[in-house]
Amino acid sequence: MAEHNVAGTIGQTFGRSDLDYTPWEFWDRAGEADKVRQHALQEVLAAERGFVLGERCFVSELASVTNETLELGDRTYVAAGAYLSGTLRAGRDCTINPYTVVRGEVRLGDAVRIGAHTSLLGFNHTMDDPDLEIHQQPLTTKGIAIGDDVWVGSHVVVLDGVTVGDKAVLAAGAVVTKDVPAGAVVGGNPARVIKWRTGPDRPSRRRTDDLAGAVAGFAAAAREQAEVVLDRYRNDVGGLFTNRPGAAPTVRAQCDAVEIADLLLGGPPPWQHATDLAEVLRSWQDPATGLVGELGDDRRPVPPEATILDPSTGYHVLCVGYALDLLGSRFAHPLAVFADASAADVVAGLEGQDWDTGAWAAGHWVDGLATALHWNTRLGVVNGRGTVEALFGWLLRNADPGTGMWGRAGEPEGLLQVVNGYYRATRGTFAQYGLPVPYAERVVDTVLAHSRDVRYFAPARQNACNVLDVAHPLWLTRTSGYRGEDVAALARRLLSDALSHWTPGQGFGFQAPDPTTSSVSATAPSLQGTEMWLAVVWLLADLAGLSDQLGYRPRGIHRPEPAAASWPGPDPRRPGVTGAGG
Residues with a catalytic annotation lie at 125
Instruction: Give the separation between CA 188 and CA 135, rounded to whole angstroms.
Output: 29
Contact 72, 52 (CB under 8 A): yes
| DSSP classification of residue 487 | H
Report DSSP letters for 265-281, one per residue.
Answer: HSSSPTTS-HHHHHHHH
Identify the CA nearest to 507 among candidates 320, 259, 277: 259
Q: CB under 8 Å, gap of 24 or more: what pairs does 528-531 form? A: 528/243, 528/252, 528/253, 528/256, 528/464, 529/464, 530/229, 530/256, 530/260, 531/256, 531/259, 531/260
Q: Burial level of 299, CB count in 10 A (0-12/13-18/19+)?
A: middle
b/e for 194-216, b at 16 or more Cβ within 10 A?
A: eebbbbeeeebeeeeeebbebbe
Contact 528, 243 (CB under 8 A): yes
Residues 6 or more apart whose CB falls under 8 angstroms from that of 355 comprise 362, 398, 406, 407, 408, 421
Contact 160, 124 (CB under 8 A): yes
Instruction: Give the separation between CA 241 and CA 205, rounded to whole angstroms.
Output: 41
Q: In what order do the strands lie in the sheet with 184-187?
A: 58-59, 77-78, 95-96, 113-114, 151-152, 169-170, 184-187, 192-196
What is the helix, strand, coil percentage profile of the chain, to 5?
45, 15, 45
Q: Cα-flanking dihedrals φ and ψ of residue 302, to 5°?
A: -75, 130
Across the strands, what pairs with 509? 525
Instruction: Give the separation between CA 86 and CA 555, rounded to whole angstroms.
Output: 47
End-to-end C-alpha distance for the chain, whole angstroms: 99
Q: Burial level of 332, CB count in 10 A (0-12/13-18/19+)?
A: middle
Helix (H) or strand (E) holding 106: strand 101-108
189 C-beta neighbours (distance < 10 Å), count: 11
Residues 6 or more apart whose CB falls under 8 angstroms from that of 190 comprise 175, 176, 177, 178
Instruction: Give the separation between CA 565 and CA 582, rounded to whole angstroms.
Output: 5
Instruction: Give the separation between CA 170 and CA 163, rounded to whole angstroms.
Output: 12
**Residue ranges of E strands in 405-546:** none
